[in-house]
Structure 1
Amino acid sequence: MKDILGNFKFLAIETENQIKLTYGLLSDFNLEVLEKIGAKDDYIDNLKTTIENACFSRIATLKPSINQEIINRIRAVHIICVNLERIADFCVNITRQTRYLTSNAFLQQYDYKTMFTIIQKSLSSITRVYDDNDLTGALHICKAEFELDRMWEENFKILLEDLKQGEGVTDLITTIFIFRYLERIGDSILNIGEALLFGIIGDRIKIRQFEALEKTLSESGFDGTLNDIDFASIWGSRSGCRISKVSRKKPSGFKAQGIFKEGGIKKIKKEHENICYWESLFPGLAPRVFGYYEKYETASMLVEFLSGCTLDQIILTEDAEVVSNVIFILEHTIIEIWEKTRNEMTLKTDCMKQLSARLGAIKRVHPEFFRPSFNINTFTVCATENLISRCQKIEESLLAPFSVFIHGDFNTNNIVYNHEEQKINYIDLYRSRQGDYVQDASVFLVSNFRMPVFDPDFRERLNRTTLFFFSTFKRFAAELNDTTFEVRMALALARSFFTSTRFELQYEFAKNMCSRAHFLMERVIAHEGKPWETFSVPPAILLY
């Protein structure tokens, strides 16, 4: 590690010196300086390669379970060094532009010097911030990019106005390129700052996400500093949101753990509104919101971290008594929600429309799942997309007799059970709305089916759970005289089976789900013209 850090500091010094030399060249056009910059570039490239090889070799000897902090620090060095070498390359690019300037005096009309001052200040602090684990210093380095962006935009507007005059066009275009390279140096400085944050807190986080966390914690009433926080990424959602767990390094009992979510304002704001609405309907069902913050096109919130396990974990890992208990509580929770939020107005469903919207994503993963139309003697087999189109027309004539407030993404991993408190919680509530209960029911059933678990004993557990809830849903429909329940369920299951294939790379399993989707759609089309109340979904379609 000592050799890595030694070379890292040499690289930082050499890169900073390239910035100084480049600034000097632009100030007085000294050709000797131009040669020095070019000569140093190869040395910097080689030094970066040496550090890179040493980082990879060192990481290969470490066990993540024991040495994760050291590994994170080495990874941070690697990212920083890649960007230092990139900055040095930008210096060379800037020097090459000077040959197109007609005079040194022309460039002096524009404020490039302040940008160099910001760059040099940031570079000079990198090794100190790394050595001291200086969180504030890392944030200052990140924020330098914002100032460099602002100066690039200001100078670019001035240069565009000057171009309109039609004089000194070559000089003006060259100057634009020089400022653009300075702005790109700012991008690399931001990468360095975020790498320093990673080395300090142990998780990759962008500066806007860090600022959002800071503001959201403040909104929650948190009275410590960010140095008091442990931050651990949980996952990045498919919608692009960042989801992480935050906690005090020394738990105090006050909101000691929470889930931090940051992303586009539309999604986070909607989820915040939905959580609040769920709380008004069923207090305690959704996690509490500790803090919420909006800025420009993004938003963030800190919500309660719910202790317990997700339903899929329980079904596969707990004993029969616990599984039986959670199924009993979940059944009563679902029925209570549906009964309490039922609205007697009829509702159009759109499962086939949802499927159509996801066909592109499915094709990118499994293009072979889309069959063309073909004939078997006098019988014509419908092409996949024609099958979906025909089912969509059928669905337009089917109305759900009532609506309920649905979860909207009712997968088993969005249901949390706390055995000690005998309590069910719903999470990930962005898509909650008034809708057809068949939407939630079908997603729930297929989320059980699509678990890539093939051990016979575990599969039997999943099958029993699926059949139990399918019977529960059928009974609920019968009690409310929902005569089109099964045909709507067939279309909803077809949608869920088919769309699930885009997340499954195990070909045979994905193909199995695709075949079930086709079977259900064909079964619906074959029943067209007959009373829909006589249609049935064969339970075996849900078993694997």
Structure 2
Amino acid sequence: MESRYPPETIKKLDELRENFKFLLIEITGQIQTTRALLKQPGSLSFKKMASRDDYIDNLKTIVENACFSRIHGGEAIDQKEINLLRVIHTISINLERIADFCVNIVKQLEYLSDLAFIQRFDSQTMLDIIETSVSKIPSTLDGRQLSDALDICRSEYRLDQMYATIFRTLLQDLQQGEASASDIITTLFIFRYFERIGDSLLNIGEALLFGILGEKIKIHQFEALQETLHLSGYSSDFSQIGMKSIWGTRSGCRISLIGPKADVGEKSQGVFKEGNPDKILREKNNLMRWQTIFPGLTPRVLGYHETSETASLLVEFLPGCTLEEVLLSATNEIVQNALFLLVHVIDEIWTHTLQAQPVSLRFMEQLSSRMTESIRLHPTLVRQDKRLGDLDIPSTEKLVRQCAEIECTLKAPFSVFCHGDFNLNNIVYDHEAQRIYFIDVYRSHDGDYIEDAAVFLISLFRLPTFQPDLRERINAMMAEFLSLLYRFAKTRGDTTFLARLAFGLARNFYTSIRFEHHRDFAKEMALRSHYLLEKIRSFNDNADWKSFAFSEDILFLEVL
């Protein structure tokens, strides 16, 4: 069969693999030398071991340069080969670290006053684990054996456990004075290097997982996925599972599409989430509640798994596009259709989940908690105390505190079941099925419908597009949503909704600047927030919120 690579490229790839094999051989030699010196200190020359370390550094550099040259050399290479080069590069870096740790272990031996002291501890079993793991790298890389990649990852846990046992023993020896303090500390340093070798083996194992799965994933994330898929009824070969990362949230959760390896992205069967147990469990419970209230509006839960440190959730993959994608790229007809369905769905949700229980407002509390992040990105957009003639102009922080006191006097007359993070990216529209879906419902709760309304309106405003035709489309959606608010409030006799909306918009305008690097646009939002806060503060003397109003022009950004 004719190769798809020219002869010169084949030669370079062969050289890369050959140098990588030499690197593996050298690392194995350093591990074996470390074993011999720990068994019988002084039996071999440390200088010889140190000289091999220089050769290992050179080999790592050669492999690293070859990987970078291949990726950035100008030749067309496919994603599979790019992934392989990334794996080889990551493994090479960590193999070189293992060699350095071996040298450091042996170097520490010269500081022991009693060479027999270290024989009390089982370094040989730790070296067995390390050497066995390194020996599995070539076959795992070539044969793509998932089980071997996982074994290499898990070697880090075994070394950690052994280190923890040795650490406790050494600490007890130090407290009881049963050995030289310097020997105890030196031995601790030695076994700390063993523990760090475990970290490098974990990096190698996870790099091999990436090579097999085609997606970067931590061992605990893979084990969570494995267990969650098992609980959902999946029993086939996990190496045939394809993953495609969607995003990592600000809270640290990982979100990926899951499906058959050949189809992931196009025919995905589920969305996998892994992260903080409290947040993942809350999302699962909210999904179940949404399914009870409005079946089909949110993804079905396919599997859930929880440990003491993390939790994972597998949910149904919903077809369609986010409302942001629709708004920015679809035809006017499709946009209008999506908006019509959305307004209908929202009105139905608010109507059917309405409960006659007043709701306290928390907009200013939320603004205060997020202000530091906003100021960190835009320190010039926070106002300081000023005086203009006889007029005192409060700082941003003082203004928020004053509005927080006012907010305590105002309540929503009833509650509805809120999405909790109702921005454009959490609404999915399937044009073919004529369906609206809600995703990312972790924050769903019973609350004031104005909470969702304010988030939605500002998520429209802050879209970073300034083309006149697209801005006109955004403004039209804004106007239609405002009409929904007025109709719903009038039908339900909600006479203070504009006042509460002012609080909600002020909160969302200001907190949104922490996501906006464009200073002029961030300034637009900060000024609008200040306008609303000042409006609230100056109106408080009247205290009749039924007559409160503000200029809706602040929601519409005109582009000339």
4+ long deviations beyond 4 Å: none
Q: How far apart, CA to CA, are the structure 1 residues paired with 2:457 and 2:226?
A: 39
Segment drifting more, 28-37 vs 277-286: 28-37
2:108 aligned residue? 97
Match of 2:226 among 214, 234, 244: 214
Partner AA of 2:100 in structure 1:
D
Q: In structure 2, do the counterparts of structure 1 residues 393 and 376 end up closer, same or farther at CA, with 3 Å as the change threshold?
A: same
Match of 1:533 among 534, 537, 546: 546
CA contact (8 A) 2:212 2:239 kept: no
Partner AA of 2:35 in structure 1:
Y
Partner deviation per Cα, 1:239-264 (whole Å, 9 max, x = no partner): 10000001013679xx9511000001
Partner AA of 2:97 in structure 1:
R
Q: How far 1:185 moved relative to its partner?
A: 0.3
1:243 aligned residue? 255
CA contact (8 A) 2:299 2:315 kept: yes
* Percent identity of paired positions between Structure 1 and Structure 2: 50
Partner deviation per Cα, 1:244-289 (whole Å, 9 max, x = no partner): 001013679xx95110000010010000000001001100011011
The alignment status of 1:82 with 2:93, answered yes or no, reads yes
Q: How far 1:25 moved relative to its partner?
A: 1.1
Match of 2:56 among 44, 53, 58: 44
Aligned residues: 541
Partner AA of 1:149 in structure 2:
D
Counterpart of 1:208 in 2: which secondary structure? helix
Segment drifting more, 127-136 vs 340-349: 127-136
1:243-392, aligned counterparts within 5 Å? Answer: 243-249=255-261, 257-392=269-404
Q: How far apart, CA to CA, are the structure 2 residues paired with 1:337 and 1:454?
A: 33
Q: How far apart, CA to CA, are the structure 2 residues paired with 1:108 and 1:227?
A: 42
CA contact (8 A) 2:94 2:204 kept: yes
1:169 aligned residue? 181
Partner deviation per Cα, 1:166-186 (whole Å, 9 max, x = no partner): 132111111111111100100
Partner AA of 1:407 in structure 2:
H
The alignment status of 1:512 with 2:514, answered yes or no, reads no
Q: How far apart, CA to CA, are the structure 1 residues paired with 2:103 and 2:119?
A: 20
Q: How far apart, CA to CA, are the structure 2 residues paired with 1:518 and 1:397?
A: 20
Partner AA of 2:162 in structure 1:
M
Q: How far 1:212 moved relative to its partner?
A: 0.7
Q: How far 1:79 moved relative to its partner?
A: 1.1
Counterpart of 2:550 in 1: which secondary structure? coil
Partner AA of 1:534 in structure 2:
S
1:100-139, aligned counterparts within 5 Å? Answer: 100-139=111-150
The alignment status of 1:543 with 2:556, answered yes or no, reads yes
Q: In structure 2, do the counterparts of structure 1 residues 375 and 203 end up closer, same or farther at CA, with 3 Å as the change threshold?
A: same
Partner AA of 2:550 in structure 1:
V
Q: How far apart, CA to CA, are the structure 2 residues paired with 1:250 and 1:316?
A: 30
CA contact (8 A) 1:408 1:440 kept: yes
The alignment status of 1:412 with 2:424, answered yes or no, reads yes
Q: How far 1:62 moved relative to its partner?
A: 5.7
Q: How far apart, CA to CA, are the structure 2 residues paired with 1:3 and 1:494?
A: 62
Q: How far apart, CA to CA, are the structure 1 residues paired with 2:19 and 2:247?
A: 34
Counterpart of 2:44 in 1: which secondary structure? helix
Q: How far apart, CA to CA, are the structure 1 residues paired with 2:163 and 2:551?
A: 64
Counterpart of 2:311 in 1: which secondary structure? strand
Partner AA of 2:546 in structure 1:
E
Partner AA of 2:88 in structure 1:
V
Partner deviation per Cα, 1:453-474 (whole Å, 9 max, x = no partner): 1111111111100111012112
Q: How far apart, CA to CA, are the structure 2 residues paired with 1:115 and 1:16?
A: 14
Partner AA of 1:52 in structure 2:
E
Partner AA of 1:148 in structure 2:
L
Partner AA of 1:485 in structure 2:
F
Counterpart of 1:272 in 2: which secondary structure? helix
Q: In structure 2, do the counterparts of structure 1 residues 225 and 537 end up closer, same or farther at CA, with 3 Å as the change threshold?
A: farther
Counterpart of 1:505 in 2: which secondary structure? coil
Q: How far apart, CA to CA, are the structure 1 residues paired with 2:410 and 2:213?
A: 53
CA contact (8 A) 2:36 2:43 kept: no
Q: How far 1:104 moved relative to its partner?
A: 2.3
Q: How far apart, CA to CA, are the structure 1 residues paired with 2:456 and 2:25?
A: 57
Match of 2:415 among 396, 403, 406: 403
CA contact (8 A) 1:338 1:404 kept: yes
**TM, length-normalised to structure 1:** 0.97
Segment drifting more, 457-466 vs 84-93: 84-93
Counterpart of 1:32 in 2: which secondary structure? coil
Q: How far apart, CA to CA, are the structure 2 residues paired with 1:39 and 1:470?
A: 74
Partner deviation per Cα, 1:406-426 (whole Å, 9 max, x = no partner): 000001110011111111110
Counterpart of 1:209 in 2: which secondary structure? helix
The alignment status of 1:157 with 2:182, answered yes or no, reads no
Q: How far apart, CA to CA, are the structure 2 residues paired with 1:498 and 1:433?
A: 23
Please list every run of 5 or more consecutive structure 1 residues that lacks an aligned counterpart in the other structure: none
Segment drifting more, 169-178 vs 422-431: 169-178
Counterpart of 2:549 in 1: which secondary structure? coil
**TM, length-normalised to structure 2:** 0.94
CA contact (8 A) 2:241 2:260 kept: yes
CA contact (8 A) 1:491 1:521 kept: yes
CA contact (8 A) 1:310 1:416 kept: yes
Q: In structure 2, do the counterparts of structure 1 residues 462 and 164 end up closer, same or farther at CA, with 3 Å as the change threshold?
A: same
